[in-house]
Amino acid sequence: MHKVEFMPVGRRGLCPEGITLLECARRLDVDLVGICGGVGVCHRCRVQVVAGPVSEPTAEDREAFSEEEIGQGRRLACMTVPQGDIRVHVPPESLSAPQRTQVEGLEVRVDPDPLVRGFEVRMTAPSLGRPLPDDRNLWDVLRRDHGLAPGTIDLAVQQVLASRLRELRFEASVVVREGEIIALDAPATRWIGLAVDIGTTKIAVYLVDMKSGDIIASAGLMNPQISYGEDIIARIHNAGESVENAARMQTLLVDALNDSVSALCAEIGAEPAHIVDAVLVANTAVHHLFLRLPVRQLGLVPYVPGIGGAEDFKARDIGLKTAPGAWAHMLPNIAGYVGADHVAMLLAIGMSRREGVTLAIDIGTNTEICLNRGGRMKSVSCASGPAFEGAQIRFGMRAAVGAIEHVRFREGRPEIQTIGGGAPVGICGSGLLDAVAQMLQEGVIDATGRMLDHPLVRRRDGVQEFILAERPGQEDITVSQKDVRELQAAKTAIRLGVQALVEDAGIKDEDIDRVIIAGAFGTYIDVESSIAIGMLPALPLGRFDQVGNAAGTGARLALVSRERRREALAIAELNGYLELARIPDFNEKFAAITPMGASVS
């Protein structure tokens, strides 16, 4: 048997020797496309072998891929046989049912007041009597018709200025950003902006009309850096190992973004060259990997960012496909594990302008929590681990089709709900949370997390497990004692973060007026279950808000509004970062809140 892992869907398991990758995918319920029935003809089951040995490329592989691609591990799944433990990357186009990625975010209205502005110009062609240089001619018209003072012109725009102006007979639309002309094209060009939330796992991309501030197209995709490690620590390690690794990881990410942007532009009949501003947010590590900044120090005490401040750089300098002269902006990072995406989330929910006491929380492998008390903000970061992403969980998987996402007990037996509604193939984070909460309620586990005797609890290979879904003819889907412990560690980490903030503020849980749960994962969790196991404080349900991808919304706000961009700076500036590792009696406190069950401080 070989261990086979499919990325980024996060399905893994043992497969017998001698079967193809396509067959492995079927056994592990990964929905690989296979139109021709696995005979190497349709070339749809393209995958990339990231680690581990596989059979030699076949003639079919060589037909489907270039020599270079073969060298990168690209193969047809139906022609490739694992020769040991392997990890395989499955690109989205090779999946018949796409993974759930979230782009829907908080709807926040804002008056557009972007940093870039388009202007229509009608110039007079130069003559011997008025032999004005083109730049001077252009600035004269911008001053006369739009009141602009002469400024600078990006070199890339200069490199087309004289020829393009003549093609356009001296009538054009130009985009100015803080006194710099960054784009020029035909009159009445529709200039667009780009907002991106780059998560460790998922990426949300939005195209925005710069005049109205409206989203005109959006897409969700997986972060392809997953091939270099599911968790960010592995990626930090990989990038720190060699400059080539860091470069490859950056290129992989930028290429994926560019592909997505091109596809979105095509959808709406626009061109990447009409993207004149971009705002990107990410956690600190992904932020650094994206800009190819050194990341080694992020993995070492005291975990400081190389760059904390907000970023403005020419999009071309990192290879982003936009108007050649466009700038990109990244919101500031607060700490090594409280990044620009957290700032964007706080911006989206208007945290700094909120009255009363607000707790905002973005749950993931790393969970960032912010407590605001009438403008005084403090954030912590908790290492909640990958349990919510399905890693380290026996039947864990990401939120893709077939994942059990909700569990309710009815008459002593669990009822499950899967993504897509079909047969279950694994458990995603929200499903696990539900299952454990229900198991606690039904007495399958006790408050310490220990699994008790129960008709659905059995022992296999010396380990207790709870049968969540029977699958005749296939392995049952179970929650093991170890799975419960993983979730318990995650909930304890989060609960401790909340408690640290509450104690630091000198208040009690009950004083919290509002709890905002942001992020893709937070959208799907059941708040009651979260309270039940003690992950979230036991407050009235009416005080909780689940707002979806708020980081993406924050990026869009900073894109279309100069005021919001300044507000993001202020949020990072004013945010007092609380380092959990420095809390006295950390271990004792951790132990004290490890038991499960609803609680308030």
- Quick one: 54 or 328, whose CB is closer to its own copies? 328
Nearer to its own copies, 130 or 353 (CB): 130
Candidate list 304, 591, 592, 600; residue touching its own copies; CB under 8 A: 304
Total residue length of the chain: 601
Closest CA to 253 of 278, 221, 218: 221
Q: Which is nearer to its own copies, 122 or 136 (by Cβ)?
A: 136
Q: How far is the CB of 244 from its own copies (least distance, A)?
A: 15
289 or 532, CB closer to its own copies? 289
User: What is the torsional sign of CA 315, 316, 319, 323?
Assistant: positive
Read off the tokens for 119: 């202007």
329 or 495, CB closer to its own copies?
329
Q: Is 166 helix (H, G, I), strand (E, B) or coil?
A: helix
Distance between CA atoms of 372 and 505, rounded to whole angstroms? 9
Give me 238's structure tokens. Answer: 């990989």
The distance of closest approach from Cβ of residue 351 to its own copies in the complex, given in angstroms and rounded to an integer, is: 21
Q: Which of 274, 292, 495, 556 binds its own copies (CB under 8 A)?
A: 292
* Min dist. Cβ of residue 159 to its own copies (A): 5
- List 168, 216, 307, 598, residue binding its own copies (CB under 8 A): 307
CA distance 527 to 517: 9
For residues 518 and 370, give the distance between their C-alpha atoms in angstroms, rounded to a whole number.
11
The bridge status of strand 74-76 relative to strand 46-51 is antiparallel
Q: C-alpha angle 110/111/117, rounded to 5°? A: 125
Residues 122-181 that bind its own copies (CB under 8 A): 126-129, 131-137, 139, 150, 152-153, 155-156, 158-163, 166
Among 1, 59, 301, 541, binds its own copies (CB under 8 A): 301
Q: With binding defined as CB under 8 A, does residue 409 bind its own copies? A: no
CA distances from 503 to 395, 428, 498, 499, 586 (A): 37, 32, 9, 6, 13
**Residues between 112 and 131 that touch its own copies (CB under 8 A):** 126-129, 131
DSSP-assigned letter for residue 584: T
Q: Which is nearer to its own copies, 56 or 312 (CB)?
A: 312
- Contact at 8 Å (CB) between 509 and 497? no
Name the minimum Å distance from CB 167 to its own copies. 10
Question: Considering the complex, what minimum distance in angstroms separates the CB of residue 297 from its own copies?
Answer: 5
Which residues in the 308-347 window bind its own copies by CB under 8 A? 308-309, 311-314, 317-318, 333, 335-336
Residue 579 binds its own copies, judged by CB under 8 A: yes
Q: How far apart, in whole angstroms, are the C-alpha atoms of residue 178 and residue 92?
A: 39
Q: At what angle do helices 243-267 and 232-241 cross, to 10 degrees?
A: 120
> CA–CA separation, 308 vs 306, rounded Å?
7
Q: Count of residues binding its own copies (CB under 8 A)?
A: 53
Stretch that binds its own copies, among 102-110, 272-280, 300-308, 469-477 (CB under 8 A): 300-308
| Residues at the site binding its own copies, with contacts judged by CB under 8 A | 126-129, 131-137, 139, 150, 152-153, 155-156, 158-163, 166, 291-297, 301-309, 311-314, 317-318, 333, 335-336, 577, 579, 581-582
